[in-house]
C-alpha cells in the first residue's frame, strides 16, 4: 500500500484538465513518479490488472507489465520521460489471470521538469475474421474492407502467423489500369455489378476468404497464402473485364506482390512496412508497378518507411514548411468569412504533393505532431497580424489526431494559454482517416467550442459514415466535398439531394461550405441549394499572403 506520509503530486488545473482528456481516449490511466512507483490509478484497473485502483498505489510500475513485454515497456517509459510523450505503441499488462491481450498504449509528461508521467491504456476492438459485424469499415461498392480497416486486419493476421512458417503469407496489390475509361461504358447498375464481382474474386483468393481491401478507387490489396498463384487471380480479373465490356475500354490488370519476410521484425516495423507499401501504391502511377521486382520484401519497405519518417520528423522539428491561404466567401455578399491554411513543402523535401505527405504522416503515426506544428505556424502568423486586421484562419486536424492523447493535451494547453485566439482560429477535421470513437471525439469538439474555437467537418460527402458523424459530432460547419458536389451537378436527383442535406444542416444549426467552386455555374448551383459559404479558384487560388484576395473576388457575382 502507499505510504500515507509520502506527498502526492500537486493537483493543479493542468493536471486535472489532462486527466479529463485522457479519459476521452483511454480505459485505464496511471500516474508514475520519478521513483518508478504508481501514485494514481483510475479506470478499468480491475478488469485489466485484477486489482482495485487503490490497491495499486505504491507498486513499482514494472510490476504491471507482462514479463514478455517488460523490456519494451521500460524502453517506452524512458522515451516518455525524455521526449515528453509516446503514442501508437502496444503493450501487454499482467494481472491475476496472466498476460492481457495487447493494449493500445500512450504516455505523456505534462512538462519537462514534471515529477510524474501519465500512462494510458485502451483495449483494441476484437476482430472476428469474416464477420461483417466486427465493426471495421467496408467499401460500399465492393464489400471489401476500406484501406485502414484492411491494414488493421492484415497486421493482425501477420502477427498471428509470425511463429509458424507454414502459415506465412504474402500481400498482393492489384491495380486496374484504365478503369476510368472502362467506366465510360457502364451505367451505374453495370458498374455496381462489376465492382461486386471484383470484390468477390479478391475475397476468394484471400486468407479466410475475407482479407482483402479496396485501398483507392482503382487499387486493391489482399493477403493470401504464399502458395497462391497470383497470376490466376490476375487472369480471372482480366476475364471479368472482357465479359463486362467485350469490345470496350483498354483496362489492364497489374499486380505487385509483397513477401512478408517478418523474421526478427517488431510489430511496429511490420505495421510501418504495410502502411508505407500500401500508401505508395495508392499514390504512385500504376505503370510503375510493372517496373517493380516481384515479390518485393516487407522488411525493405519497412526500412524505407523508417527513413522517410526520419526525414519528415526533421521537417516537423525545423518547421521547414510554409502556409498558403485560400478564402472562404459568403455566398450572398462576397465578403471573406475566413481563410483556410494549407501546408506547402519545399522542393528539396522530395514531397510530390501536400496531400501525399499528409497521408504518409497519417499512415506512419506522425500526423498528430504535424497537425500541432501546423497549428503553431498558423498561430504565429495570426500573432504577427494582431494589430493589422481581424483575419481568422482554419487549420486542418486529422481524424487520427482527434484520437491522439498527446495531441489533444498539447493543443488544449496552447489554446488555454492564448485566449486572444478566440474568434481568430478554427479547426477543420479531415476525414482522410475515419473516426471510429465518436463519443470521445465529440467530447473534445465540445471543449474546443467551449473555449471559443469553431469546428468544421471537412470532406463531407454522401457516404453513410458522414451522416453518422453529423448525428454524433456537434460541429459548427460542414464542408461539402468538391467531388461529391460535381457528381451532384451531373446526377438527375443531385440538386434535390443537396438541397435536402443543406436544409438538414440548417435545422441542426450547422453552416455549410461548398469547396472546389471553379466557375459561375458551380456558384449558381450551390447558391440555389442554399449553401452559405464557398471556396475555390473562382475566388482565388492558394497564396502565401492574403492581401490581394479582397480586391480579386469578382464582385459582379454578388
DSSP code per residue over 60-108: BGGGGB-GGGHHHHHHHHHHHHHHSEEEEEEE-BEETTEEPPPEEEEEE
State the Cα–Cα distance between residues 258 and 220, nearest whole angstrom.
13
What are the grid coordinates assigned to 119, written together? Answer: 500512462
Query: Which DSSP category does 310 fall into?
Result: H
What are the grid coordinates assigned to 190, written together? Answer: 453495370
CATH architecture for residues 145-306: 2-Layer Sandwich (3.30)
Which own/partner pairs from 86-93 qualify as long-range (CB within 8 Å, at least 24 positions apart)? 87/365, 87/368, 87/404, 87/405, 87/406, 88/268, 88/365, 89/268, 90/267, 91/65, 91/66, 91/121, 92/65, 92/66, 92/68, 93/48, 93/49, 93/64, 93/65, 93/66, 93/121
What are the grid coordinates assigned to 136, written together? Answer: 471495421
pLDDT reported for residue 3: 37
Looking at CATH, the fold of the domain delimited by 325-339+389-557 is given as: TIM Barrel (3.20.20)
State the Cα–Cα distance between residues 168 and 148, nearest whole angstrom.
22
Determine contact, residues 151/274, Cβ cutoff 8 Å. Answer: yes
pLDDT reported for residue 380: 93
pLDDT reported for residue 278: 83
b/e per residue 93-109 (b: at least 16 CB within 10 A): bbbeeeebebbbbbbbb
State the Cα–Cα distance between residues 323 and 325, nearest whole angstrom.
7
Read out DSSP for 185-249? T--HHHHHHHHHHHHHHHHHHSGGG--EEEEETTEEEEEEETT--HHHHHHHHHHHHHHHSTTS-
Q: Bin 495: left if φ > 0, else alpha if -120 < ψ < 50, else beta.
A: alpha
How many residues are listed for the chain in this entry?
A: 558
pLDDT reported for residue 249: 66
What are the grid coordinates assigned to 354, written together? Answer: 501536400
**Three-state secondary structure call for residue 530:** coil
pLDDT tens-digit profile, the chain (558 residues)? 333 333 333 345 566 666 666 766 778 899 999 999 999 888 888 888 888 888 899 999 999 998 888 888 888 888 888 888 877 677 888 876 777 777 888 888 877 777 889 998 987 554 333 444 345 778 888 889 988 788 888 888 887 765 555 457 888 999 998 888 888 888 887 888 899 889 989 988 898 888 999 988 899 999 998 888 888 899 989 988 988 887 756 888 988 888 887 666 777 777 778 887 887 787 666 556 555 656 777 777 777 777 777 777 888 888 888 999 999 999 999 999 999 999 988 766 555 566 767 777 776 778 888 999 999 999 999 998 876 678 899 999 988 888 777 788 889 889 988 999 998 999 999 865 566 677 878 888 988 998 899 999 988 875 555 777 888 889 999 999 888 888 888 887 888 888 988 998 999 999 999 999 999 999 999 999 999 999 999 999 999 999 888 888 888 898
**Residue ranges of the chain that CATH labels 3.20.20.450:** 325-339+389-557
pLDDT reported for residue 314: 82
Is the peptide bond preceding residue 295 cis, with omega within 30 degrees of 0? yes
Q: Which of 47, 131, 134, 55 is nearest to 97 (CA)?
A: 47
CATH number assigned to the domain covering 13-123: 3.30.450.20
**Residue ranges of the chain that CATH labels 3.30.450.20:** 13-123
Task: Count CA within 13 A, CB hemisphere, residue 36.
Answer: 10
State the Cα–Cα distance between residues 91 and 458, nearest whole angstrom.
33
b/e per residue 336-355 (b: at least 16 CB within 10 A): bbbbbbbbebeeeeebeeee
Q: Which residues contact 353 (CB under 8 A, 6 or more apart)?
A: none
pTM for this model (two decimals): 0.67
**Residue ranges of the chain that CATH labels 3.30.70.270:** 145-306
For cell 517506452, name the residue.
Answer: 76
pLDDT reported for residue 6: 33
Amino acid at each position: 500500500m502507499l505510504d500515507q506520509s509520502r506527498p502526492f503530486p500537486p493537483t493543479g488545473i493542468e493536471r486535472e484538465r489532462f486527466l479529463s482528456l485522457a479519459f476521452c481516449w483511454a480505459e485505464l490511466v496511471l500516474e508514475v513518479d520519478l521513483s518508478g512507483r504508481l501514485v494514481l490509478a483510475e479506470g478499468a484497473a480491475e478488469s485489466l490488472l485484477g486489482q482495485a485502483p487503490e490497491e495499486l498505489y505504491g507498486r513499482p510500475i514494472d510490476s504491471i507489465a507482462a514479463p514478455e513485454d517488460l523490456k519494451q515497456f521500460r524502453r517506452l517509459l524512458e522515451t516518455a520521460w525524455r521526449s515528453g510523450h509516446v503514442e501508437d505503441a502496444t503493450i501487454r499488462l499482467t494481472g491475476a489471470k496472466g498476460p492481457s491481450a495487447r493494449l493500445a498504449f500512450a504516455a505523456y509528461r505534462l512538462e519537462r521538469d514534471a515529477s510524474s508521467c501519465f500512462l494510458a491504456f485502451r483495449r483494441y476492438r476484437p476482430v472476428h475474421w469474416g464477420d461483417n459485424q466486427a465493426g471495421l469499415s467496408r467499401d460500399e461498392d465492393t464489400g471489401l474492407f476500406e484501406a485502414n480497416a484492411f491494414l488493421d486486419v492484415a497486421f493482425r493476421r501477420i502477427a498471428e502467423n509470425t511463429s509458424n512458417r507454414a502459415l506465412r503469407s504474402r500481400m498482393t496489390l492489384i491495380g486496374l489500369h484504365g478503369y476510368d475509361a472502362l467506366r465510360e461504358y457502364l451505367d451505374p447498375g453495370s458498374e455496381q455489378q462489376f465492382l461486386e464481382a471484383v470484390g468477390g474474386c479478391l475475397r476468394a483468393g484471400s486468407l479466410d476468404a475475407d482479407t482483402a481491401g479496396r485501398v483507392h478507387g482503382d487499387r486493391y490489396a489482399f493477403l493470401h497464402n504464399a502458395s497462391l498463384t497470383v497470376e490466376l487471380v490476375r487472369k480471372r480479373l482480366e476475364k471479368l473485364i472482357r465479359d463486362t465490356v467485350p469490345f470496350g475500354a483498354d483496362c489492364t490488370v497489374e499486380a505487385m506482390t509483397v513477401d512478408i519476410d517478418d523474421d526478427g521484425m517488431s510489430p511496429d516495423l511490420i505495421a510501418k512496412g504495410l502502411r508505407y507499401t500500401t500508401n505508395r501504391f495508392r499514390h504512385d502511377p500504376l505503370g510503375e508497378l510493372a517496373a517493380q521486382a516481384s515479390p518485393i520484401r516487407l522488411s525493405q519497405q519497412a526500412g524505407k518507411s523508417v527513413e522517410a519518417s526520419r526525414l519528415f520528423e526533421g521537417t516537423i522539428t525545423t518547421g521547414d514548411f510554409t502556409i498558403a491561404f485560400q478564402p472562404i466567401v459568403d455566398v450572398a455578399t462576397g465578403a471573406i468569412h475566413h481563410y483556410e491554411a494549407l501546408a506547402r513543402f519545399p522542393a528539396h523535401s522530395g514531397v510530390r504533393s501536400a496531400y501525399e505527405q499528409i497521408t504518409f504522416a497519417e499512415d506512419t503515426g506522425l500526423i498528430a505532431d504535424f497537425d500541432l506544428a501546423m497549428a503553431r505556424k498558423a498561430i504565429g502568423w495570426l500573432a504577427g497580424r494582431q494589430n493589422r486586421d481581424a483575419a481568422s484562419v482554419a487549420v486542418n486536424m486529422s481524424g487520427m489526431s482527434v484520437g491522439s492523447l498527446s495531441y489533444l493535451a498539447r493543443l488544449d494547453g496552447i489554446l488555454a494559454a492564448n485566449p486572444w485566439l478566440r474568434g481568430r482560429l478554427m479547426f477543420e477535421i479531415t476525414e482522410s482517416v475515419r473516426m471510429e470513437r465518436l463519443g470521445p471525439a465529440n467530447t473534445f469538439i465540445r471543449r474546443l467550442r467551449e473555449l471559443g474555437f469553431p469546428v468544421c467537418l471537412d470532406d463531407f460527402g454522401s457516404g453513410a459514415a458522414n451522416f453518422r458523424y453529423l448525428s454524433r459530432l456537434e460541429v459548427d460547419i460542414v464542408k461539402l466535398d468538391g467531388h461529391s458536389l460535381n457528381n451532384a451537378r451531373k446526377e438527375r436527383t443531385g440538386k434535390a439531394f443537396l438541397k435536402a442535406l443543406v436544409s438538414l444542416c440548417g435545422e441542426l444549426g450547422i453552416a455549410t461550405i461548398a469547396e472546389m467552386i471553379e466557375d459561375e455555374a458551380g456558384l449558381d448551383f450551390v447558391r440555389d441549394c442554399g449553401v452559405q459559404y464557398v471556396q475555390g479558384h473562382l475566388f482565388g487560388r492558394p497564396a502565401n499572403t492574403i492581401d490581394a484576395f479582397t480586391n480579386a473576388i469578382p464582385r459582379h457575382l454578388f
